[in-house]
Chains A and B, each alone.
Chain A
């Protein structure tokens, strides 16, 4: 494996592991608001105290120096040691009330950005995976039917996919989302977005599947299976669709980052998940306040996380695809 490809695999694996182990790694609950810690910066982990003596890793609490500008200063007089593997998490502060451990700072409600990032990865990744599965299933069904049956059905189905593909994907998703009530609960939004993404993604899958099924249909092995009495459905499902596996794998890896970005975009403009749900999109919404963004750069951490995942996928796919769909 090439070195860059290995980096890609590592980036993706790291994100998946981080989201899977969120309850263990996160020092706080994703919706826990820390009073008096609005926009607190990341806590710095020290090893040497003011007098030059070495300690186990410890932190200083943040002291609010300017309420209006939300400026904080380290209170060097207090040493708060970190505790490991306590109360169900890998590492946390020994005094959560006075000196919470904020690895990536706090957001505008005083919630821990690092914990939200880990829990947010769960929703963002799960949504992308569910949408991709649905898009692949729908696309294979449409493409398989069109390629196998041919004729008028083929024409009709391909016209329909052409129509969806030529429209800007973001506008279609936006229009479909906006038709439904603007305020919905997290599970409802999850299913809704998954179906919208499936509708937008399926045509790309259907085109490729159709082309493969059409050419495989006339191969000898298909004729042999038919001669042995295989029904149309069996021939399609057992013999022809397996030939699309390689294509589907590439398509899935292209669509996952596209859907992660789509979720972020919709949540960013207020048409995605409700604000209290932790997803990368709702977290980015916090960064839409430009003056706050300039002062509190840690609000961009979900953007960096998204970049890491998309980059990882692109490095893995490097020579196979050009990333056309990842920015659509």
Chain B
């Protein structure tokens, strides 16, 4: 087990390095740079080019960058004029808050609903859940976030932009953050919850048809106990194995939700960095994204092993 985790960690490190190297080179190859500005003396431009390593060839800059990463220096962002090392963790934490909340919401809404609808193939409740979830499966995060922002802009029920209010009383920061979190987190969670519901419903109805469930029912075990204990346990496999992929989905979805709701996360930072040709920032953002991804896949594989020991082999 330890060897397995170590091997996966080594693979994760490789993924992070590969992704950030790739994006550093891509960003350097793109036309334009971030230091040339109108009305700036050529001496000043040269000085800035040297500061951000743009005076070197791509290869030389790459080797130099690798060497400095080993010492914990990820370069400076020229858009924000700050070390990337300070900027990226701050934004990555914001994305993590958003994504983790959305994942928790989706899990605690989607899976129980899937259990209910999957264990009642007939009847109005199952049908109602199924129709609602097919609606939300068809609403990608860009649409949910726009619709939610529209509703909240009309009704003024909830804040729709940013992460904190400008004027917040001390001690109220947490409540304020939660209020700002509702719109982006639901926008991200709704389609995901619907997807979980569909998958769990499918797995649940298959589990309910298993011979051991029929046998348990024949022994007179109460229905609620069969559904929520026996059948639920064997039906968790498909959703759990999806969690690794879900991290990618969350990052993709979180990108557009961050842009729509002005949530200061990794996605909007990456967008600014790409548009502004901010080489070191692009590399660090991509690396942070790859890091999330690698952690997510590893955690989901470990969770799958816990739910279904056969899959751990």
Instruction: Please give, as numbers and ranges, the residues of chain B lying within 8 Å of A167 by CB-CB distance.
Output: 19, 248, 290, 293
Q: How far is the CB of B78 from chain A (nearest CB, A)?
A: 16
Which residue in B139, B149, B252 is a CB contact (below 8 Å) of A170? B252
Instruction: Please give, as numbers and ranges, the residues of chain B lying within 8 Å of A326 by CB-CB distance.
Output: 137-138, 140
Asked if B139 and A307 make an inter-chain contact with CB atoms under 8 angstroms apart, the answer reads yes
Asked if B143 and A311 make an inter-chain contact with CB atoms under 8 angstroms apart, the answer reads no
User: 0/1 per residue, A3-24, Cβ < 8 Å to B?
Assistant: 0100000000000000000000
Which residue in B30, B139, B142, B286 is a CB contact (below 8 Å) of A264? B142
Asked if A322 and B202 make an inter-chain contact with CB atoms under 8 angstroms apart, the answer reads yes
Please provide the 7 A-B residue pairs with the shortest distance between their CB atoms, ordered closest to farther.
A170-B252, A294-B153, A178-B274, A311-B138, A168-B251, A310-B138, A323-B137
Instruction: Please give, as numbers and ranges, the residues of chain B lying within 8 Å of A288 by CB-CB distance.
Output: 259-260
Q: How far is the CB of A59 from chain B (nearest CB, A)?
A: 26
A2 to B164, CA, bound (A): 48
Q: Which of A67-75, A77-85, A122-130, A179-187 contacts B (4 or more CB under 8 A)?
A: A179-187
Q: Does A231 contact B (CB under 8 A)?
A: no
- Identify which of residues 119-145 in chain B touch chain A, using a CB-to-CB cut-off of 8 Å: 134-135, 137-143
Asked if A268 and B195 make an inter-chain contact with CB atoms under 8 angstroms apart, the answer reads no
Instruction: Please give, as numbers and ranges, the residues of chain B lying within 8 Å of A140 by CB-CB distance.
Output: none
Asked if B147 and A178 make an inter-chain contact with CB atoms under 8 angstroms apart, the answer reads no
Q: Does B270 contact A (CB under 8 A)?
A: yes
Asked if A300 and B154 make an inter-chain contact with CB atoms under 8 angstroms apart, the answer reads no
Question: What is the count of residue pairs linking A and B with beta-carbon distances less than 8 angstroms?
Answer: 139
A322 to B161, CA, bound (A): 32
Chain A, residue nearest B292 (CB) = A168
Asked if A171 and B191 make an inter-chain contact with CB atoms under 8 angstroms apart, the answer reads no
Asked if A303 and B143 make an inter-chain contact with CB atoms under 8 angstroms apart, the answer reads yes
Which residue in B27, B199, B242 is a CB contact (below 8 Å) of A179? B27
Q: A168-B289, A178-B30, A284-B146 are in contact. Are A328 and B198 (CB under 8 A)?
A: no
Interface secondary structure of A, over-half rule: helix
The size bracket of the interface on B is: 35 or more
Q: A180-B30, A314-B137 are in contact. Are A166 and B293 (CB under 8 A)?
A: yes
Q: Does B271 contact A (CB under 8 A)?
A: yes
Interface, chain B (partner A; CB < 8 A): 15, 18-19, 23, 26-27, 29-32, 134-135, 137-143, 146-147, 149-150, 153-154, 160-161, 191-192, 194-195, 198-199, 202, 242, 245, 248-249, 251-253, 255-256, 259-260, 270-271, 274-275, 282, 286, 289-290, 293, 297
Asked if A303 and B146 make an inter-chain contact with CB atoms under 8 angstroms apart, the answer reads yes
The size bracket of the interface on A is: 35 or more
Asked if B253 and A171 make an inter-chain contact with CB atoms under 8 angstroms apart, the answer reads no
In the complex, besides A178-B274, A288-B260, 10 extra interface pairs with C-beta distance below 8 angstroms are A174-B255, A179-B26, A261-B143, A290-B161, A306-B143, A307-B138, A324-B195, A324-B242, A324-B245, A328-B249
Asked if A179 and B30 make an inter-chain contact with CB atoms under 8 angstroms apart, the answer reads yes
A265 to B286, CA, bound (A): 19
Which residue in B19, B150, B249, B253 is a CB contact (below 8 Å) of A293? B150
Instruction: Please give, as numbers and ranges, the residues of chain B lying within 8 Å of A166 by CB-CB distance.
Output: 15, 248, 293, 297
Which residue in A175, A182, A328 is a CB contact (below 8 Å) of B23? A175
Chain B, residue nearest A309 (CB) = B138
Q: How far is the CB of B131 from chain A (nearest CB, A)?
A: 8
Asked if A290 and B149 make an inter-chain contact with CB atoms under 8 angstroms apart, the answer reads yes
